[in-house]
């Protein structure tokens, strides 16, 4: 029987997992931001709601930057090339 071993670098595996999780979080952040912009433009939100949403999105963006730095990633590292469909994330990633 052929015994094939796979060497897994724990540091690389942890970084890859962090990258995957942060990619999903960044995708959700961008979707929430687009939804908020749509709601701003249609006047669905009160001034207080606009302030809360804006503050929340700003804090989430700052936290994403911190998490990327913590794991040695750049926002560009989170984007996935989906071939003919283009990139997963919008060009707004920093």
0.85 surpassed by pTM: no
The pLDDT tens digits of the residues spanning 17-74 come to 889 999 999 999 999 999 999 999 999 999 999 999 999 999 999 999 999 999 999 9
Query: 94: pLDDT confidence band, cut at 50, 70 and 90?
Result: very low
Domain membership of residue 90 (yes or no) is no
- Picking from 69, 78, 84, 86, the residue whose alpha carbon sits closest to that of residue 29 is 78
- Give how many domains the chain has, as a whole number: 1
Once rounded to an integer, what is the mean pLDDT over residues 72-78? 90
Mapping DSSP to helix (H, G, I), strand (E, B) and coil, where does residue 2 land? coil
Give me the pLDDT at residue 88, please: 86
Residue 45 CA to residue 2 CA, distance in Å, equals 64
Domain membership of residue 78 (yes or no) is yes
Residues of the domain holding 79: 12-85
Measure Cα distances from 90 to 31, 75, 81 in Å: 10, 11, 11
Residue 75 CA to residue 57 CA, distance in Å, equals 16
């Amino acid at each position: 029987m052929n015994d094939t071993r796979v060497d897994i670098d724990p540091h690389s595996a942890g970084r890859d997992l962090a990258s995957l999780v942060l990619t999903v979080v960044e995708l959700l952040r961008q979707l929430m931001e687009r939804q908020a912009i749509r709601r701003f433009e249609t006047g669905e939100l009160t001034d207080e709601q606009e302030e809360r949403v804006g503050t929340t999105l700003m804090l989430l963006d700052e936290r994403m930057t911190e998490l990327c730095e913590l794991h040695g990633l750049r926002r560009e590292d989170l984007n996935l090339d989906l071939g003919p469909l283009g990139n997963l994330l919008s060009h707004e990633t920093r």
